[in-house]
Chains A and B, each alone.
Chain A
Amino acid sequence: MLTRENTVNLVLALLLLVAPLAANAFGQPFYVTLATRIAILALAALGLNLALGLGGLVSFGHAAFFGIGGYAAGILSSHALSYEPMIFGLPGTVQMPVIWIVAVIAAGLVALAIGAISLRTSGVYFIMITLAFAQMVYYFAISWPAYGGEDGLSILVRNQFPGLNTMKPLSFFLVCYVVLLAGIGLFALIRASRFGTALQAARQNETRVATVGIHPYRIRLTGFVISAMITALAGALYADLNRFVSPSMLSWHMSGELIVLIILGGTGRLFGPVAGAALYVAFEFALGGLTERWQFFLGLILLGVVLFARGGLLGLLAGKAKHG
């Protein structure tokens, strides 16, 4: 159905594909990298949007999962390149699909543990506890010297995808773009499913959900874990994009930025994260070129959006969301 929102979504998806293709044709690989950054940040925020937008779970600790994904990529490839076996004698790998699976499973397990404790609470407690757990992972990464500690870990050669030369910016962009589209498809499927309906219902009225025999805690925990897994996948891609992973991926600024992306785009909207990430990277690029202190202006803009333009970019382009 071609509603106004669907049209806007379609245009966004096409723009994100056509712009880097054109940039590549004109020999401007820098803009391809910029588009890759947008796609990856959008995927990370998409994961968070599942918990935050659908489930109403304001997680201020998703950087933990983003960073775990990044470290999965960094650690596996460093072991593969040095031929040193990891724990239990398992070999490292430079194959992206394997790395993604490891990243997703690792983040899923951590999210299960963090979620199981954090979801016993709600509201402002939940925000602070997810933040605190992410800090715990952050400090662990800083004080554990085996993988670079505070200095981070370089990925000497970008990891490989079967049949592609990922060192070419456009090839790597296409990998990220397809993964992003798959993520958006998964999000749409989940949102329309029985599980997704229950998750949204648990946000709107917990008591009613419990009355019809659904356990809100389990629904939320499942949503939280899936959300963390998607964000971790984005983290693995992000590490490959920069060919570097460091504790800054785990920092609470990163968690804040992921929430900012969602709000800039429009909370709970399918393409909100894409619009938000595009807007954010554009700000960073345009303001960052003008002044070193661009975050000052980002703060002002963000304050303006929160206080006066609550629907985000999609709210402006596509009208209000149909239901809260």
Chain B
Amino acid sequence: MTIALALEQLLNGIQLGVMLFLMAAGLTLIFGVMGLINLAHGSLYMVGAFACAAVAAWTGSFWLGLIASLACAAAAGAIVELAVIRRLYDRDHLDQVLATFALILIFSEGTRWLFGDFPLYLDIPALLQGVVTLPGDASYPVYRLAIIAVGALIALGLYLLIGKTRLGMRIRAGESDREMIGALGVDIRTLYTLVFALGSALAGLAGALVGALQSVQVGMGEPVLILAFVVIVIGGIGSIKGALYGALLVGVTDTLGRFLLPQFLALFVDPSQAGMIGGAMASMLIYVVMAVILAVKPRGLFPPAHA
């Protein structure tokens, strides 16, 4: 094991964490403001990826695809909010789970209908192809570094949006007292649609960015959705700050666990066994981390102060 390899794995972990943050930020925002658990968030991730791949294939431009992914995911989110989600705000969590589960079935099969059963592929734009050399003679893809940069920018943007703007003030007010800001004359229904569309756009962006690393296919959002759940449970549901730290923790733990555990076990048992046991243990590692954190802090690391 070299320092260069470890650095590369650490960066991969951060990149995964950044992706998870884009998903988790939307989920946690929607839960914080509207009290809604949205299983269909992974479908919006998928919508973003498909929109980007389709538009990029049609126009030849990844950047137009990226814009399309934001627009389509935000539009899909807004339509779903207007048609279905807004009937669910005063329902219990069970109804929300079921209705959004139904939305997943509709989105997944609907996408299969439109695009067929075969995955689409999305190329990394020419500008971001290539590698950079890291200290210790390792090379690392520029595109993954760009994803990390995008994530950092979005985190900063969200911080400014929520902390410094009028919209952000309304969102924060919505989190602490829905009835009161409605009574003060804020159009709460439009605010909810906006927040939902914002969360959806973030999910769509994440899907499009990851789409260039993996294949774009139906069901791609579901593993990410569940990891994002782990993230917001660890971070404290409703907390953007918690989502950021939780996402980085989960991303780095998962990636380094898969890399280090087999090597660590190889010190004790023979390598093929170590690979097998280590792989199985690494796939459970983040859930163990979650269990330990919850055993100590049942409301997560950064529980929102008011709830």
Contacts and interface: CB of A to CB of B under 8 A. Distances in A.
Interface in A125-159: 125, 127-129, 131-133, 135-136, 139-140, 142-145
Contacts of A299: 102-106, 109
B283 A307 contact: no
B84 interface: yes
A302 B102 contact: yes
Contacts of B283: 136, 139-140, 142-143
Interface stretch (B153-161, B177-185, B225-233): B225-233
Interface residues of A, number: 40
A35 B284 CA distance: 37
B170 interface: no
Contacts of B290: 129, 132
Contacts, number: 116
B269 to A, nearest CB: 15
Contact of B93 (A124, A140, A252, A296): A124
Contacts of B276: 143-145
B279 interface: yes
B292 to A, nearest CB: 9
Interface string A266-307: 010000000000000000000000000101101110110011
A302 B101 CA distance: 9
Interface residues of B, number: 41
Interface string B102-117: 1111101110110000
B284 A300 contact: no
Interface stretch (B13-21, B132-140, B294-302): B294-302
Contacts of A300: 102, 106
A52 interface: yes
Interface string A200-229: 000000000000000000000000000000
Interface in B209-228: 222, 226
A135 B287 contact: yes
A71 interface: no
Nearest to B236: A125
Interface string A236-267: 00000000000000001000100110010001
Interface of B: 31, 37, 84, 87, 93-95, 97-99, 101-106, 108-110, 112-113, 222, 226, 229-230, 232-233, 237, 276, 279-280, 283-284, 287-288, 290-291, 294-295, 298-299
12 contacts: A58-B93, A127-B37, A128-B230, A131-B226, A132-B230, A136-B287, A140-B284, A252-B226, A256-B97, A299-B102, A303-B84, A306-B99
Interface of A: 52, 58, 60, 117, 120-121, 123-125, 127-129, 131-133, 135-136, 139-140, 142-145, 252, 256, 259-260, 263, 267, 293, 295-296, 298-300, 302-303, 306-307, 310
Given A136-B287, A298-B105, 20 more contacts: A52-B94, A117-B294, A120-B294, A121-B299, A123-B93, A124-B31, A124-B93, A125-B237, A129-B294, A131-B226, A133-B291, A140-B283, A144-B276, A259-B98, A293-B112, A293-B113, A299-B104, A300-B102, A302-B99, A303-B99
